[in-house]
């Protein structure tokens, strides 16, 4: 109920503000001044993010000293793969994970646990076959791999519910979550843990997500740019002692901290964002590993994109409403609280943009002066901020010349879809049924995903 009231209140407040600024020149100029300051702030984040990306890639290119590979010297990692009806992709990720070089070969310092709550396409059997093949080819010990089934909490089918179901069965002091469509290099675990050692106080760390099928279409290519824009933003927030966040695929969390903040939320439709905000509210922070990539599939159709983005937007808004007050009142440093407020403020632009257009259209037959510069200013500011983040992310990864400009423009144009998605998600929260199910993104399978 509180989320419904907050979402409805935000939409009403946006509508009232939109009406005010199109009717009052002074209010319009004040709002445009605030918008200008927000672009400056995004530019600052982009620059700081670019710095961290470049520094991380430079550090990651230097071969580290060989660590002590005895089991007692390395944190034991439970790598969890939620997998419901993932037959097209599960074998590849199981093979990649069991081939990890982390710990001594006779007794690796990790386990791989596939969570299969009732697949009907043979996902569990295919995963077990892939594990048996890895055991035959590379000598992976049988105890390294398990398929965990069982029922989830009543009324939930979320990824968070699957992860909560798995926790009592995991052996690791660190829990890593990798999606079923992921592909990782043999040194993935070792490199993430090496990056984490540079920020040992972090409660969690997030690897860089990278679409493998970026060459499939304009839509998938734009999602690759979006991932780098998000990376630049997250790195900028981390560099400024802000609240960097987990992103679901390729996230690592310390088991003791996870337990202390209440574990995975089985009712959260974006378990990664929900956990990120709870960690920040408890005074913890999240590290980033831009130099370590985890591959994944970008969605290939507009219908699937809309479903995915509505889930992301609704989940993000719900966790802001539910856990934001606790973060602001909690023990987090002031810089993180201010960063959180600035980040939350970015969610105000889409509903104000949408309602300002509606308000301007309503005033056409009325004797009221319209100020169309408001929606234009909002759109331009959102696009400019997105463009700056795209420049930072792409140039940080080494893209140069006309490709940098063209890809940055494509990324900025693509990101404008959030101007529609966020108001739609607010409307769903305000008047729609509560979402407690997880609609999985369809998989192409790596063979046809441009790999």
Are 283 and 330 in contact by the 8 Å Cβ rule? The answer is: yes
Mean pLDDT of 390-409: 96
* 278-328 per-position pLDDT tens digit: 999 998 999 999 999 999 999 999 999 999 999 999 999 999 988 888 888
Distance from C-alpha of 192 to C-alpha of 321, rounded to nearest angstrom = 31
Distance from C-alpha of 1 to C-alpha of 87, rounded to nearest angstrom = 38
426 pLDDT above the threshold of 50: yes
Q: Which domain holds residue 14?
A: 1-451
DSSP state of 15: H
Among 196-210, 221-235, 407-421, 427-441, the range scoring the smallest mean pLDDT is 427-441
Distance from C-alpha of 226 to C-alpha of 247, rounded to nearest angstrom = 13
Query: Rounded to two decimals, what is the model's pTM?
Result: 0.89
Q: How many domains does the chain have?
A: 1
Interacting residues of 403 by C-beta distance below 8 A, sequence separation 6+ = none
438 pLDDT above the threshold of 60: no
Number of other CB atoms surrounding residue 291 within 10 Å: 19
Are 399 and 54 in contact by the 8 Å Cβ rule? The answer is: no
Distance from C-alpha of 444 to C-alpha of 451, rounded to nearest angstrom = 11
Instruction: Give the domain CATH number at 267.
Output: 3.90.550.10
Tokens at 90, concatenated: 């599960």
Q: Which of 159, 151, 330 is nearest to 246 (CA)?
A: 159
């Amino acid at each position: 109920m509180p989320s419904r009231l907050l979402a409805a209140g935000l939409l009403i407040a946006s509508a009232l503000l939109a009406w005010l600024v199109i009717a009052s020149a002074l209010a319009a100029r004040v709002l445009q001044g605030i918008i200008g300051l927000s672009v400056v702030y995004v530019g600052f984040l982009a620059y700081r993010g670019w710095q961290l990306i470049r520094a991380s890639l430079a550090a990651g290119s230097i071969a580290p000293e060989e660590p002590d590979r005895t089991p007692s010297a390395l944190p034991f990692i439970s790598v969890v793969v939620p997998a419901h009806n993932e037959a097209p992709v599960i074998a590849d990720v199981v093979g990649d994970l069991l081939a990890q070089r982390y710990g001594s070969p006779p007794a690796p310092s990790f386990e791989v646990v596939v969570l299969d709550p009732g697949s009907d396409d043979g996902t569990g059997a295919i995963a077990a076959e892939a594990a048996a093949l890895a055991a035959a080819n590379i000598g992976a010990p049988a105890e390294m791999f398990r398929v965990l089934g069982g029922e989830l909490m009543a009324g939930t089918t979320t990824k968070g519910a699957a992860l909560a179901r798995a926790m009592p069965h995991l052996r690791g002091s660190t829990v890593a979550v990798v999606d079923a469509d992921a592909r990782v290099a043999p040194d993935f675990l070792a490199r993430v843990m090496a990056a984490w050692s540079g920020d040992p106080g972090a409660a969690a760390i997030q690897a860089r997500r990278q679409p493998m099928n970026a060459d499939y279409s304009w839509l998938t290519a734009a999602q690759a740019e979006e991932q780098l824009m998000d990376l630049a933003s997250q790195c900028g927030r981390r560099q400024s002692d802000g609240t960097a966040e987990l992103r679901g695929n390729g996230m690592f969390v310390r088991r003791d901290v996870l337990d202390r903040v209440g574990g995975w939320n089985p009712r959260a439709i974006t378990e990664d964002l929900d956990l990120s905000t709870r960690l920040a509210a408890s005074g913890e922070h999240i590290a980033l590993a831009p130099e370590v990539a985890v591959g994944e599939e970008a969605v290939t159709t507009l219908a699937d994109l809309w479903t995915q983005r509505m889930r992301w937007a609704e989940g993000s808004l719900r966790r802001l409403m539910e856990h934001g007050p606790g973060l602001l009142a909690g023990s987090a440093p002031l810089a993180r609280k201010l960063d959180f407020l600035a980040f939350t403020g970015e969610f105000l632009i889409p509903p104000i943009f949408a309602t300002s257009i509606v308000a301007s259209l309503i005033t056409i037959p009325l004797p009221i002066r319209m100020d169309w510069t408001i929606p234009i200013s909002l759109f331009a500011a959102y696009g400019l901020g997105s463009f700056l983040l795209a420049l930072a992310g792409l140039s940080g990864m080494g893209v140069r010349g006309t490709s940098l400009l063209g890809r940055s423009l494509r990324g900025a144009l693509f990101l404008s879809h959030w101007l529609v998605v966020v108001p739609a998600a607010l409307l769903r929260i305000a008047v729609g049924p509560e979402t407690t199910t997880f609609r999985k993104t369809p998989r192409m399978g790596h063979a046809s995903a441009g790999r």
